[in-house]
A and B are shown apart, each in its own frame.
Chain A
Amino acid sequence: MKTLTLTLALLATTLAGAQGKYQTFGLGPDTGFNRDGSYVTDINDSGQVLGWWPTNGEAYVISPRDAWTKNIVKTNGSPLFMNNAATIVGVEGPSNIPFYKVWGQTAVLFPCGRGAVYGAINTAGYIAVACQSTTTPTNPEFSGATPRITQGRRSYSLTTSGQTSS
């Protein structure tokens, strides 16, 4: 009976909406931890949900059938993104350095500067982020900051330097 009770408590609540079904889940106490956007940030085509805990910024993934994977990586509260292979891109906390993390592997930090850097990741594992740069572009339009896709699969590829002085 105790086991049954615990299992039921872990199951997400399902609510019926007029045009679809809502599955809801708890996020723990809302401490306002470095909040920069939503605590629930992405969903891939397998239905895996990516978010981070309000209490400490730890990322989690909820897989179908309510299977939780917690303490994936500590984030700084910026938005996170995930592709269909559950590779995650975001910003590590408290270092504020962007990272990508292939499922089951340790997070890899970008040489991309510090600060609030969001991004996107596609199915092939290419990542687009706006990096900080210490170089000053000579041309105000992307000179020295031309978006480029480099380094190949599951590595980082940077769109631009960003945040440079003009």
Chain B
Amino acid sequence: VTVSETVGLNNLNQIVGSWIDYSTPWSGFFYDGTSKKLNTRFNMPGAVTTYPTAINDNQEAVGNWFDQTGVQHGFYWNPTAGFSDIDVAGDTAIGLVSINNSSVILGWWQDDNTPTKIHYVTIVNGQPTASVDVPKSQAGSTVATAINNVGQVVGEYETQEGVVRGFIYTPSK
């Protein structure tokens, strides 16, 4: 068994991640550290592969899944509603990075331009709410890596001169 390097852990000691073995494609798992229950079929329905990436303290999980044509989509899950697809209008692929305790999802989507560009966004209720794109940065260079429970996002970008810098994004209130 090989387990993904990316795992999510919340303050309820619940863990999500993905795994693979010789007979099973990449699948999601959900482990509850209190009940010690392990679900090794934590998969988006209809997905070829599923990669959970994060879970918050409300037991809301997000991650990514691939369809039969090899296109990457996002998913949202909670214990009541189960799995639902997350895509942004016009995207050719999407990836969900994290979800905070206010249910704000950090992710990216790929446009259909030539060449394609990646756009980082925050997503609430399945809809993009803010673009995370450092002003005056090189187009498509902003990469966001984490979001905290205040909604601040960090990452890196390239200047017009090609210099890599870090950023902290604080959303408007």
Binding site for B on A (CB under 8 A): 12, 15-27, 30, 37-45, 47, 49, 51, 54, 62, 79, 116-124, 126-130, 137, 140-142, 145-149, 157, 159-164, 166
Binding site for A on B (CB under 8 A): 1-11, 13, 15, 17, 19, 21-24, 29, 31, 33, 36, 38, 40, 130-131, 133-136, 143, 145-150, 152-157, 163-172
CA–CA, A127 and B8, complex, Å: 10
CA–CA, A20 and B6, complex, Å: 28
CA–CA, A17 and B172, complex, Å: 9
CA–CA, A130 and B171, complex, Å: 33
Could you list 24 examples of A-B contacts with CB < 8 Å?
Answer: A20-B130, A20-B172, A24-B134, A24-B168, A26-B165, A27-B165, A37-B145, A38-B143, A40-B154, A41-B145, A41-B154, A44-B148, A47-B168, A49-B168, A51-B154, A118-B6, A120-B8, A122-B11, A123-B11, A141-B21, A141-B24, A159-B17, A162-B1, A164-B2
Minimum CB–CB distance for A111 against chain B, Å: 17
Q: Is the CB of A24 within 8 A of B131?
A: no
Q: Is the CB of A166 within 8 A of B21?
A: yes
The SS class assigned to the B binding surface is: strand
Q: Is the CB of A137 within 8 A of B1?
A: yes
CA–CA, A119 and B4, complex, Å: 10
Selected contact of B166 from candidates A39, A137, A148, A160, CB within 8 Å: A39
Minimum CB–CB distance for B23 against chain A, Å: 6
Minimum CB–CB distance for B74 against chain A, Å: 19
CB neighbours of A119 from chain B (8 A): 7, 9
Minimum CB–CB distance for A76 against chain B, Å: 13
CA–CA, A120 and B7, complex, Å: 7
Q: Is the CB of A43 within 8 A of B135?
A: no
CB neighbours of B5 from chain A (8 A): 116-118, 130
CB neighbours of A12 from chain B (8 A): 168
